[in-house]
Structure 1
Amino acid sequence: MKIKVYFLSFLFIALVSCKKETSKNKDLKKVEVAVQTSVKSYTYNELKPLLEKKDNKTYIVNFWATWCGPCVKELPYFEKINKEFADKNVEVLLVSLDFPKQVEKKLIPFINKKKLQSKVVLLDDINEDVWIKDIDENWSGAIPATIIYNKDKRKFYEQSFDYKTLETELQTFLK
């Protein structure tokens, strides 16, 4: 009789443990879904419509790269703006100028490590002499660079931002 009780107890514990393990695996799958596995690549002609929308939103478009120290330093400010101003019709777009061959090895792991929530796209266009001047005639091509725009106003910034300066500039578009 004692052996039967021990066996049934063992069987019960084993079944409950398996059920918990299955639950843990489901949680892991949820986490995996949150991990970014690809980044959409755009030519400049494909990206251009995202830089010229005429709806009721205000857009912040930041040109950056994982290899650019000042770009990486300011990314948390864009993320904070994206989160804090989402209910005010503000959308952040992070345009990576990373090398296309390094998307899988550098860009995607970077996005996941930093837990970037803003939309990230890759500008993969070798005609930088064309698109740099088209984005802003005074842009030297240096990054970080940012455009803030809405249907009424547009401003280009070839500079790094701290949070307060970025928020102040954005507020001028929301009035």
Structure 2
Amino acid sequence: MKPAVKNNKLLKLIFLAIISFSLTYCQENKDKGDEKETAKVEEPSENKSTKKAIPNYYTSGIPVYEKFEDLEPLLNIENDTTYVLNFWATWCKPCIKELPHFKELDSIYKKEKMKIVLVSLDFPKDVDTKLVEYAKENQIEDKVVVLLDGKYNNWIDKVSPEWSGAIPATYIYNRERNELFQGAFENTKDLIDVIEPFL
């Protein structure tokens, strides 16, 4: 009878070892699955820091505004400069098509008191991979800022009550006047025509 008892004890030990291994393996795979799921999150949640979700572009030199309230002061600067704020995104084909006109405009008026700000509305997941790369390739990093606040309906009226929310849209202002231009500029001359009255 003693060998049978030993075999039972051995079987119990093997069974416990298998259960222990199975539980450990399942937990490890569950944790790995959680990591993958977190990495795939496209939009940062309200209770998580955007910086933790998408850290790299914070070191790219492009200013990032998480909320519209942080960007809003750029719409209300009172000095002798004319500001041209273009709202765009890399996923917007008309936006990409018109961006060279802003680059050309900047070179034409480089001696004037005019500042171009290209406000990217790209999704957080695209900032590192698409926006930063596009800005570097086209040498416009010094003009680009990012607005991550996707709650457009809460703030488009603060830019202009006339804005439908579609992009591209260009808001031009100085101390004396302001105006919103919706839609893409077909060429640099059209852009110059709307800028001239402000200068």
Structure whose alpha-carbon radius of gyration is higher:
2
Q: SS state of the match for residue 133, structure 1? A: helix
CA deviation string 1:67-124 (max 9, x = no partner) = 1111001101111111221211010000000001211111101111122155101111
**Partner Cα separation in structure 1 for residue 141 and residue 63 of structure 2:** 15
The answer to whether the 8 Å contact 2:85/2:116 transfers is: yes
Superposed displacement of residue 143, structure 1: 0.4
The answer to whether the 8 Å contact 2:62/2:141 transfers is: no
TM score, norm. by length of structure 2: 0.67
Q: SS state of the match for residue 150, structure 2? A: coil
Superposed displacement of residue 127, structure 1: 2.1
Superposed displacement of residue 131, structure 1: 0.9
Query: Which residue identity lines up with residue 131 of structure 1 in the other structure?
Result: W
Alignment RMSD: 1.4
CA deviation string 1:8-44 (max 9, x = no partner) = xxxxxxxxxxxxxxxxxxxxxxxxxxxx934221121
Structure 2 gaps of 5+ residues are 1-58
1:39 aligns with 2:51: no
Corresponding residue for 1:56?
80
Which structure 2 residues correspond to residues 88-103 of structure 1 after superposition, within 5 A?
88-103=112-127
Query: Which residue identity lines up with residue 108 of structure 2 in the other structure?
Result: E
Q: SS state of the match for residue 111, structure 2? A: helix
The answer to whether the 8 Å contact 1:41/1:122 transfers is: yes
Number of matched pairs = 139
Q: Percent identity?
A: 40
1:106 aligns with 2:136: no
1:171 aligns with 2:187: no
Runs of 4+ in 1 over 4 A off after TM superposition: none
**Partner Cα separation in structure 1 for residue 123 and residue 105 of structure 2:** 26
Corresponding residue for 1:154?
178
**Partner Cα separation in structure 1 for residue 109 and residue 141 of structure 2:** 13
**Partner Cα separation in structure 1 for residue 72 and residue 123 of structure 2:** 19
Superposed displacement of residue 172, structure 1: 0.7
TM score, norm. by length of structure 1: 0.75
Structure 1 gaps of 5+ residues are 1-35
Corresponding residue for 1:4?
none
Aligned CA distance change for structure 1 residues 167 and 117 (closer, same or farther; 3 Å)? farther
1:84 aligns with 2:105: no
| The 10-residue stretch of structure 1 (52-61 or 38-47) with the greater mean CA deviation from structure 2 | 38-47
**Partner Cα separation in structure 2 for residue 64 and residue 75 of structure 1:** 9
Corresponding residue for 2:92?
68
Q: SS state of the match for residue 142, structure 1? A: coil
The answer to whether the 8 Å contact 1:77/1:163 transfers is: yes
Query: Which residue identity lines up with residue 168 of structure 1 in the other structure?
Result: D
**Partner Cα separation in structure 2 for residue 158 and residue 167 of structure 1:** 15
The answer to whether the 8 Å contact 2:162/2:180 transfers is: no
**Partner Cα separation in structure 2 for residue 98 and residue 70 of structure 1:** 14
